[in-house]
Amino acid sequence: MKIHKIVLKNKDINYPIFVGNGALKLLKNKIKSSCPKTQKIALILDRNIPFEYKKKIKKQLSSYKTFVKEYLPNENLKSFSKANFLIEDLLKNNFNRNDTIVAAGGGIVGDFAGFVASILKRGVNFVNIPTTLLAQVDSSIGGKTGVNSKNGKNLIGSFYQPKLVISELSFLESLKKRDLICGFGEILKYSLINDKLFFKWIKKNSSIILRGKDKNILKYAIIKSCKNKIYFVTADEKEKSKRMLLNFGHTFAHGIEAANDFSKKINHGEAVLIGMLLATKLSVKKKLCSKKTLLEIEKIYENNNLPSSLQKYFRKKDYKKIADFMANDKKNNDNRINLILLKSIGKTTKPGSFKMSLKQMRNIIKKIN
Ligand SMILES: NC(=O)c1ccc[n+]([C@@H]2O[C@H](COP(=O)([O-])OP(=O)(O)OC[C@H]3O[C@@H](n4cnc5c(N)ncnc54)[C@H](O)[C@@H]3O)[C@@H](O)[C@H]2O)c1
């Protein structure tokens, strides 16, 4: 399979993303060209990825002095204290700005390692090898890094771009169905907010993507998603306007995850899938979007048995908690909840144009679920 190169480039950012079966083979040479002065590498591994993946990655790094750290990826890893612990360890080993942190794992490990790379000596090189579908289509692109606070998710962080991203398709073979669903949620999001043609393609191929076996289909979905994300990131790196559209469904999702104490009962991608449907239902209720569009989206959920409602995860009386956490979302710039709603497939409301009070949200969330 041909390895596809996508470049994320604007006046401040410039780095390549390689996607393909066998893309990992490029790691050694690409680190040499992207981070030429590197002598030491900190390899931050997701403990759950299969042993043979770890072996292949280590082999690519064998010409460097490499420190390997393995972490169990749960939201507790994304904490200031764990980041500090790793930083102290790297400082003790004389890590300097020419050296490189390489992350290999899902979004949790990538966010954590990227955050450490961004603050260690005010920034060391960062290379990301995303190993989940969600990380390949979303979290590895665009430079958002961060950890959680007890007041909410991703509230501490930085914008820090990697030097290089390598998306090895064969790494997706070992993913659980639940993790394929998470990545699918973000793929669907790009089509809903920005790409009607991509939506049509997804409608035809959703079950194949979700089976996770057809590498050509996965490659197409990943490349299309990367290009959509790059469109927003290059237009608005620091999320002042256009990039906010990527939050479609995510304000609900963050509320859902927080109200569930970030437990494994519902993960990020599942919360996003429910959040996008709630945001679409709200759009219909506010007469911004047609019922037909909602039905078209719901059909994809039904056909693939995707998480679509809060009922499985919450009692009705707990919906209020979701609204309360939504009011605490970092994207709100006043005391109202800032939402991106859908107008039609590929078209959303403008950032900052739709807001609701906490009281309104508490009421509506019961009605739209
Ligand atoms: N930085 C961003 O722009 C951004 C965007 C979206 C999401 N995120 C963050 O990403 C995180 C979610 O990422 P995620 O969905 O990748 O979850 P994750 O990192 O928890 O990974 C999901 C599970 O898959 C396992 N795994 C990883 N690679 C595997 C492989 N190849 N084979 C088998 N198992 C594998 C992990 O160990 C984990 O158990 C959240 O913390 C979210 O906030 C960040």
Per-residue pLDDT for the chain (369 aa), expressed as one digit of tens each? Answer: 899 999 999 888 999 999 999 999 999 999 999 999 999 999 999 999 999 999 999 999 999 999 999 999 988 999 999 999 999 999 999 999 999 999 999 999 999 999 999 999 999 999 999 999 999 999 999 999 999 988 777 889 999 999 999 999 999 999 999 999 999 999 999 999 999 999 999 999 999 999 999 999 999 999 999 999 999 999 998 888 899 999 999 999 999 998 998 888 998 899 999 999 999 999 999 999 999 999 999 999 999 999 999 999 999 889 999 999 999 876 767 789 999 999 999 999 999 999 999 999 999 998 898
Within 6 Å (CB) of ligand 1, which residues are found?
46, 48-49, 73, 78, 105-109, 111, 131-132, 134-135, 138-139, 142, 144, 154, 171, 174-175, 179, 182, 268-269
- Measured by CA distance, the residue closest to atom 38 of ligand 1 is 73
Q: Is 67 exposed, middle or buried (0-12, 13-18, 19+ CB in 10 A)?
A: middle
Ligand 1 pocket mutation, candidates 17, 57, 77, 108, criterion most atoms within 8 A of CB: 108
Q: Is 240 exposed, middle or buried (0-12, 13-18, 19+ CB in 10 A)?
A: exposed
Distance (Å, whole) CA 20 – CA 215: 8
* Domain positions in the chain: 4-174, 177-368
- Measured by CA distance, the residue closest to atom 3 of ligand 1 is 139
Q: CA-CA distances (angstroms) from residue 28 to 43, 63, 141?
A: 13, 9, 20
Classify residue 185 by its DSSP letter.
H
Distance 107 CA to ligand 1 centre (A): 4
The confidence score (pLDDT) of residue 171 equals 98
Ligand 1 pocket mutation, candidates 118, 134, 170, 182, criterion most atoms within 8 A of CB: 134
- Measured by CA distance, the residue closest to atom 34 of ligand 1 is 175
Ligand 1 pocket mutation, candidates 111, 180, 232, criterion most atoms within 8 A of CB: 111
Distance 73 CA to ligand 1 centre (A): 8
Distance (Å, whole) CA 113 – CA 121: 14
Q: Is the dihedral of CA 266, 231, 226, 72 positive or negative?
A: negative
Please state, as a whole number, how many other Cβ atoms lie within 10 Å of the Cβ of residue 66.
15
- Measured by CA distance, the residue closest to atom 27 of ligand 1 is 106
Q: In angstroms, how far is the first alpha carbon of the chain from the final one?
A: 43
Distance 268 CA to ligand 1 centre (A): 9
Distance 76 CA to ligand 1 centre (A): 13
Pairing of β 152-159 and β 125-130? unpaired
- Measured by CA distance, the residue closest to atom 13 of ligand 1 is 107
| Nearest in space to 175 (alpha carbons), one of 136, 205, 202 | 136
Q: Is the dihedral of CA 261, 71, 162, 174 positive or negative?
A: negative
Return all residues near 59 (Cβ < 8 A) that are at least 6 apart: none
Cβ(116)–Cβ(124) below 8 Å: no
**Which pair of structure tokens corresponds to residue 279?**
């945001």
pTM confidence score: 0.96
Return all residues near 263 (Cβ < 8 A) that are at least 6 apart: none
List the alpha helices (DSSP H) in the chain.
27-34, 51-60, 80-92, 107-119, 133-134, 177-194, 196-211, 215-235, 250-259, 268-285, 291-304, 319-327, 358-368
Distance 186 CA to ligand 1 centre (A): 12
Q: Which DSSP string corresponds to 237-283?
A: TT-SSGGGGGGTTHHHHHHHHHHTTT-TTS-HHHHHHHHHHHHHHHH
| Nearest in space to 119 (alpha carbons), one of 93, 153, 145 | 145
Please state, as a whole number, how many other Cβ atoms lie within 10 Å of the Cβ of residue 34.
16
Are 4-174 and 177-368 in the same CATH fold? no
Distance (Å, whole) CA 326 – CA 310: 15
Q: CA-CA distances (angstroms) from residue 206 to 132, 198, 211, 306?
A: 17, 11, 9, 11
* pLDDT, tens digit (0-9, with 9 covering 90-100), for 56-66: 999 999 999 99
Distance (Å, whole) CA 328 – CA 155: 10
Distance (Å, whole) CA 286 – CA 280: 10
* pLDDT, tens digit (0-9, with 9 covering 90-100), for 120-166: 999 999 999 999 999 999 999 999 999 998 877 788 999 999 999 99
Nearest-10 crossing angle of helices 291-304, 177-194: 160
Distance 332 CA to ligand 1 centre (A): 25
Distance 319 CA to ligand 1 centre (A): 26
Cβ(133)–Cβ(179) below 8 Å: yes
- Measured by CA distance, the residue closest to atom 5 of ligand 1 is 139
Distance 141 CA to ligand 1 centre (A): 13
Distance 106 CA to ligand 1 centre (A): 3
The confidence score (pLDDT) of residue 330 equals 67
The confidence score (pLDDT) of residue 333 equals 72
- The highest-level CATH class for domain 4-174 is alpha beta
- The highest-level CATH class for domain 177-368 is mainly alpha
The confidence score (pLDDT) of residue 297 equals 98
Distance 348 CA to ligand 1 centre (A): 27
Q: In Å, how far from its chain's centre is CA 280?
A: 20
